[in-house]
Amino acid sequence: MSEMSGKPGAHTRLSVLKTYKLFVGGKFPRSESGRVYEVTDTRGNWLANAPLASRKDARDAVVAARKAFGGWSRATAYNRGQILYRIAEMLEGRRDQFVAEVAAAEGLSKAKATAQVDAAVDRWVWYAGWSDKVAQVVGGANPVAGPYFNLSTPEPTGVVAVLAPREPSFLGLVSVLAPVIVTGNTAVVAASERAPLPALSLAEVLATSDLPGGVVNLLSGRTAEIAAPLAAHQDVNAIDLTGADAELAKELETAAAENLKRVLRPSAGDAGGEDWFADPGTRRMLAFLETKTVWHPMGV
């Protein structure tokens, strides 16, 4: 009380530190292992403790993603688009928080961090619009010599494991996550190992955006440790290796071959080989789609 007595009305507040947690099945659990690791800014100053996910967290995340797949893949494209757009709205509302987190995590100026967050929000909106258009681009009626309709439609692959790029921590994450879920896949994401905080905060946005629990599951920790069980998991249908270095990517692709997972390799060169601010194109969406073709009699 004594230090407050000088100035009436003024008082020292206890600092309220945020406990960053995983995001699995729409809930925010701690790591099953009870472990955390220190996340620092580029100068080595402590920012927060992030959960250090174990292989069992990865397993639980896959179970949650599988459970969510039925509902999410059957939702109408319109509905999925609306939900993705809603996520963009929520991101916009928490822009300042993400700018601060990105700036701290990557040692960026406020202007550069703002540019990254803006680009990320714009990318959500861009992908949200694709939900009901992708089928028109890669599906359609095929010409056949007979009295049949022959129709091809793209369908989601299933549960997709995503290794988010190490940098940019936020734009990179959004750029690999949105194309996976917009088409109806569900995702288990290993966030950037060094800068996981923007990803863990994104989970809070996802949880309040009508996105069904389990569609996106976010894990933080050692990428290699989380990725190995995901790549070998028989109930994961595809894996995006963007966040893996060349050596790890090779190892994971070998493990992924066991159940013929679809594999999206990291772009050539080092992991920074991709220009994240450029127009992403449809490559990432199409990597996780299966084409279903049906024959249908035309009738008389």
Partner 1 sequence: MFADATASDTALRRFLHGLPGVDAVGLEARAATLGTRSIKTTAKAFAIDLAISMIDLTTLEGADTPGKVRALCAKGVVPDPTDRTAPKVAAICVYPDMVATARQALDAAGGRDVHVASVATAFPAGRAALSVKLADTRDAVAAGADEIDMVIDRGAFLSGRYMQVFEEIRAVKEACAREDGEDAHLKVIFENGELATYDNVRRASWLAMLAGADFIKTSTGKVAVNATPANTLVMLEAVRDFRAAGGRQVGVKPAGGIRTAKDAIKYLVLVNETLGDDWLHPDWFRFGASSLLGDLLMQRQKLTTGRYSGPDYVTVD
In the complex with partner 1, which residue's Cβ is closer, 25 or 168? 25
CA-nearest of 170, 168, 225, 242 to 199 is 170
Stretch that binds partner 1, among 15-23, 36-44, 59-67, 160-168 (CB under 8 A): 59-67
Least distance between partner 1 and beta carbon 29 (Å): 16
Choose which of 115, 207, 232, 287 interacts with partner 1 (CB under 8 A). 232
The CA radius of gyration of the chain, in Å to the nearest whole number, is 21
Stretch that binds partner 1, among 185-193, 204-212, 214-222, 228-236 (CB under 8 A): 228-236
Choose which of 35, 59, 194, 222 interacts with partner 1 (CB under 8 A). 59
In the complex with partner 1, which residue's Cβ is closer, 62 or 211? 62
Contact status: 229 vs partner 1 (CB under 8 A): yes
Cis peptide before 168 (omega within 30 of 0): yes
Contact status: 290 vs partner 1 (CB under 8 A): no
Query: Which residues, including other chains, have CB under 8 Å from residue 184's CB and lie 6 or more apart?
Result: 72, 73, 74, 75, 80, 155, 156
In the complex with partner 1, which residue's Cβ is closer, 54 or 169? 54
DSSP 276: T
Token pair of 121 as six digits? 């929000």
Contact (Cβ atoms closer than 8 angstroms) between residue 23 and residue 217:
yes
Token pair of 20 as six digits? 């960053």
Choose which of 24, 39, 62, 121 interacts with partner 1 (CB under 8 A). 62
Contact status: 221 vs partner 1 (CB under 8 A): no
Contact status: 35 vs partner 1 (CB under 8 A): no
Contact status: 264 vs partner 1 (CB under 8 A): no
Q: How many CB atoms lie within 10 A of CB 83?
A: 21
In the complex with partner 1, which residue's Cβ is closer, 96 or 235? 235
DSSP string of 12-60?
Answer: PPPP-------BBTTB-PPPTT--EEEEE-TTS-EEEEEE---HHHHHH
Least distance between partner 1 and beta carbon 97 (Å): 35
List the interface residues with partner 1, window 63-92 (CB under 8 A): 66
Total residues binding partner 1 (CB under 8 A): 10
Helices of type H across the chain = 55-74, 77-93, 95-106, 110-130, 134-138, 171-182, 197-207, 223-232, 246-256, 283-286
Token pair of 292 as six digits? 């279903």
List the interface residues with partner 1, window 242-261 (CB under 8 A): 258
Contact status: 262 vs partner 1 (CB under 8 A): no
Contact (Cβ atoms closer than 8 angstroms) between residue 210 and residue 31:
no
**Cα–chain center distance at 112:** 22
Least distance between partner 1 and beta carbon 175 (Å): 28
Residues that bind partner 1 (CB under 8 A): 59, 62, 66, 229, 232-236, 258
